Structure 1
Amino acid sequence: MLTWAGLLTVLAVLTGCTGSTPLFGDNRSPGDAIRIFPEDGAENVGADSRIEVTVPDGRLERVKVTRMEDAEHGQVPGRIAEDGRSWAPDKGARRLGLAGKYSVEVVAVDGGGRRSARNTSFTTLVPADRFIGYFKPENRSTVGTGMIVSFDFNRPVRNRAAVEKAIRITTDPAVEVAGHWFGDERLDFRPARYWEPGTEVTVDVGLRDVEGAPGVYGSQRKKFTFRVGRSQTSLVDARAHTMQVRRDGELVSTVPITAGAAKTTTYNGKMVVSELHEVTRMDGRTVGFGGEYDIKDVPHAVRLTKSGTFLHGNYWESPDTFGSDNTSHGCIGLRDVKGGSSDTPAGWFFERTLVGDVVEVVNSADKTVAPDNGLGGWNLGWSRWKAGSALR
């Protein structure tokens, strides 16, 4: 069994994490030198709209623009200018796809050599009489055993039964999969228990010409697949300040952690990894904490909820914090070094984590995470889950 008790070293001065509101602000957040166009959360972006990333000084280190949550997943080709101050798509690059969702991931280095990161997204125009569903996981991905198939629709669905019936999920080996609606714009699917490792899942989206609401018809007819990888589940005990990591049911590591402080506790319950970022920015002004923190280079960030709960590397706390005290603003912190390292607990965990892995928190003073906060549907029992189907 591995243990990380001897790996801790002293670094840094800040405290920072997110609580229960969205993490990323818009492009005008104070102190954010990275400028991205279209703005974060922009909707109805035209196919020929400008895409641009700039910094006033320093240089761009990495820019990645990707069509996501769609079977036509692909990266927008582009390049950083010779002076390092801007990025733009290659000349002659294909137009943006209509009815698509795009992510923009940027890492920059300022004049003092300090790294900063931004992660934004925008959606492109959908014709007024059409609706689509942005979905996860990605086509042809390998995921953890807790993955939930999730559709976010761009318009309210009134005819839920017709829409749910038009999405067919088949598995090998065969297992019952049921849908559950969270309001009129979100439909999730899962089996009764975590997927078996090695399961092959095919999702056939037959929404084209399905009337989702009066006069509004679906425009998608596509198929995507994913494979379930090995089983990895992690149990975070907020009172004991530990995280037990299990592979295929066997305990492989007990990692010291720090969770949410008394006034900013961490949610209890089962949370599913939905994003992985080698480095990202966490700014207290975007989550209601004022100027308490602004950490531009948080390493090894693993998103657990839509509202902003992460499991991430922490290089600013003293080493005796991990395993003994809860000091964060709601996230789960693992020991790391500035810039991130694979030799730290955070780096070790990040490199062994898949989207779809489950992290469960117990013994926190907070409530259980809501089932629609991220991929939190495992916090509903099977009977309650099936009761949320329009086909019951």
Structure 2
Amino acid sequence: MSQIRILRSRGLALPAVLLAVVLGAAACGGHDGGTSDDRGGAPGKGASAAPAGARVNVTPAAHRTGVAPGAPVTVAVTGGTLAAVTVTPDGPASDGVSPVAVTGALDQARHTWTSDRTMTPGTSYTVKVTAADAAGHRTQTTSTFATAAAARVNGVTPTPLNHAVVGVGLPVSLAFDKPVVDRAAVERALRITTSPPVQGSWGWLTDPTTGIQRVDWRPDNYWKPGTTVTLTARLSGIDTGGGRYLRRDIHDTFRIGTARISYADLRAHTLRVTENGRTVKTFKISAGRPAYPTWNGRMVVMEKQSTVRMTSASVAIATSKDSADFYDEDVKDAVRITTSGTFVHAAPWNAAVMGVSNASHGCIGMDTADARWFFDRATRGDLVITSGSTRATVDKGNGYGEWNLSVDQWRALSALG
């Protein structure tokens, strides 16, 4: 049997991080220059000027509002060098989101500082600059500006999260509430770090069942057990297209657990479970009947539930109770492996044909005790590889079907080439 369940969640609200870039020190023998210009008059409200020997210019200008979240912040000095620059939010964004601090870097001469990321929409920012003139006199300049609020927003749901332990087949995945037009801008804001080092690539997919667009990072080969993976997504303030902004950064670390890979032979009607390369169990199964064959190919455990209501109407098989294909069942020990509704689950009604023939509507059914063993063992990210079906290979976006692509095919799906 099969059923469609679509899980959605909203983006994470992450706490703001105040980051300072310390870029040098004043020469010895100097003194603090204060926060006013004793050579050229008092600065205006919200900003203070450096002495004439070291003049600081901040862009966006002081008190400016409606600044585009993707606009660069630059700090330039004449008659001196920059010692430190910070760009920090003054409080929550206008929609209550925790805003991000803005990072950046100096040029080699320490005359210009330029931001290297986007800003949170609807946020007031304060720029604090420490500069020094040729004589070592230090001064501080403060300026404020505010970014424009996002008229439209886009949400993102990351997988996995919360320091999870997952199987060797689970990619890093970011699913978007609305389609992303500027994929390159999003992809440039993403970073994966691993220990030990792992080669891989981002790729863009659309789930054929739900229409949800996502970008996944898949390693070239299955993860190795014990690998630690960290996702850093500096997404706050990125325009995904047409003025639809992302508002939150994402940062999380997870770990790869047991290499659990199961092989379903739909001709032999068996499911062989391996762990770290060793066969631990082989079960008799009954998969999709000729009219409703099971997908071929490599699929990944997405979730599991002790009880799932499965109906023939939900997968457009039969809506009338008079149909021989009608069903409406509470199915036990259900492990989902595709978005379109393929599960490995208990199927006691097919007990007589387990190991003999395929009689389901597309799922992989097992004896009640065998299904309980598989359910208890299954972890998100485990692989289930099926062969011997008359059906096509599962689509790359149907669940985590990207493992059916070669490394070159997968890398071609990156927006950055």
Residue 137 (structure 1) aligned to one of 151, 154, 160: 160
Shift of 1:154: 1.4
The whole-number CA distance in structure 1 between the counterparts of 2:251 and 2:12 is 7
The whole-number CA distance in structure 2 between the counterparts of 1:225 and 1:299 is 32
Equivalence for 1:328 = 360
Q: Is the 8 A contact 1:281 1:294 kept in 2?
A: no
Shift of 1:139: 2.2
The whole-number CA distance in structure 2 between the counterparts of 1:70 and 1:197 is 28
Asked which structure has the greater RCO (Cα within 8 Å, sep 6+), the reply is 1
Kindly provide the CA deviation profile for residues 114-157 of structure 1, in whole angstroms up to 9, marking residues without a partner as x: xxxxxxxxxxxx97522221121232111100001222111221
Equivalence for 1:172 = 195
- Structure 2: gaps spanning 5 or more residues: 15-94, 98-148, 207-211
Equivalence for 1:346 = 371
Equivalence for 2:316 = 288
The whole-number CA distance in structure 2 between the counterparts of 1:185 and 1:157 is 8
Q: Which amino acid aligns with 1:372?
A: G
Equivalence for 2:244 = 216
Equivalence for 1:23 = 4
Equivalence for 2:217 = 189
Kindly provide the CA deviation profile for residues 274-308 of structure 1, in whole angstroms up to 9, marking residues without a partner as x: 01001111111111122434344211100010111
State which drifts further: 185-194 or 238-247: 185-194
Equivalence for 1:116 = none
The whole-number CA distance in structure 1 between the counterparts of 2:277 and 2:159 is 26
Equivalence for 1:201 = 229
Q: Is the 8 A contact 2:306 2:333 kept in 1?
A: yes
The whole-number CA distance in structure 2 between the counterparts of 1:185 and 1:254 is 36
* Distance of aligned partners of 1:250 and 1:209 in 2 relative to their CA distance in 1, 3 Å threshold: same
Give the secondary-structure state (helix, strand or coil) at the position aligned to 2:222: coil
Q: Is the 8 A contact 1:23 1:283 kept in 2?
A: no
How many residue pairs get matched? 276
1:304-323 → structure 2 map (5 Å cutoff) = 304-317=337-350, 319-323=351-355
Equivalence for 1:387 = 412
Kindly provide the CA deviation profile for residues 308-344 of structure 1, in whole angstroms up to 9, marking residues without a partner as x: 1111111222x331111100000000111xxxxxxx1
Give the secondary-structure state (helix, strand or coil) at the position aligned to 1:308: coil
Point out the structure with max Rg over C-alpha: 2
1:154 aligns with 2:187: no
Equivalence for 2:81 = none
Q: Which amino acid aligns with 2:224?
A: E
Shift of 1:168: 1.0
The whole-number CA distance in structure 1 between the counterparts of 2:13 and 2:334 is 26
Q: Which amino acid aligns with 1:256?
A: K
Equivalence for 1:234 = 262
Shift of 1:222: 2.4
1:237-248 → structure 2 map (5 Å cutoff) = 237-248=265-276
Equivalence for 1:109 = none
The whole-number CA distance in structure 1 between the counterparts of 2:189 and 2:387 is 38
Q: Is the 8 A contact 1:267 1:368 kept in 2?
A: yes
1:366 aligns with 2:391: yes
Shift of 1:364: 0.6
* Distance of aligned partners of 1:98 and 1:276 in 2 relative to their CA distance in 1, 3 Å threshold: farther
Give the secondary-structure state (helix, strand or coil) at the position aligned to 2:317: coil
The whole-number CA distance in structure 2 between the counterparts of 1:127 and 1:351 is 45
Equivalence for 2:336 = 303
* Distance of aligned partners of 1:153 and 1:236 in 2 relative to their CA distance in 1, 3 Å threshold: same
Q: Which amino acid aligns with 1:193?
A: N
Q: Is the 8 A contact 2:150 2:244 kept in 1?
A: no
The whole-number CA distance in structure 2 between the counterparts of 1:195 and 1:287 is 33
Q: Which amino acid aligns with 1:362?
A: S
Q: Is the 8 A contact 2:13 2:248 kept in 1?
A: no
Give the secondary-structure state (helix, strand or coil) at the position aligned to 2:349: coil
Give the secondary-structure state (helix, strand or coil) at the position aligned to 1:279: strand
Equivalence for 2:299 = 271
Q: Which amino acid aligns with 1:166?
A: A
Give the secondary-structure state (helix, strand or coil) at the position aligned to 1:282: strand
Q: Is the 8 A contact 1:71 1:224 kept in 2?
A: no
Q: Is the 8 A contact 2:302 2:381 kept in 1?
A: yes
Q: Is the 8 A contact 1:304 1:311 kept in 2?
A: yes
Shift of 1:189: 1.0
TM-score by length of 2: 0.63
Q: Is the 8 A contact 1:246 1:252 kept in 2?
A: yes
Q: Is the 8 A contact 1:264 1:330 kept in 2?
A: yes
The whole-number CA distance in structure 1 between the counterparts of 2:255 and 2:398 is 24
Give the secondary-structure state (helix, strand or coil) at the position aligned to 1:213: coil
The whole-number CA distance in structure 2 between the counterparts of 1:329 and 1:98 is 47
1:254 aligns with 2:287: no
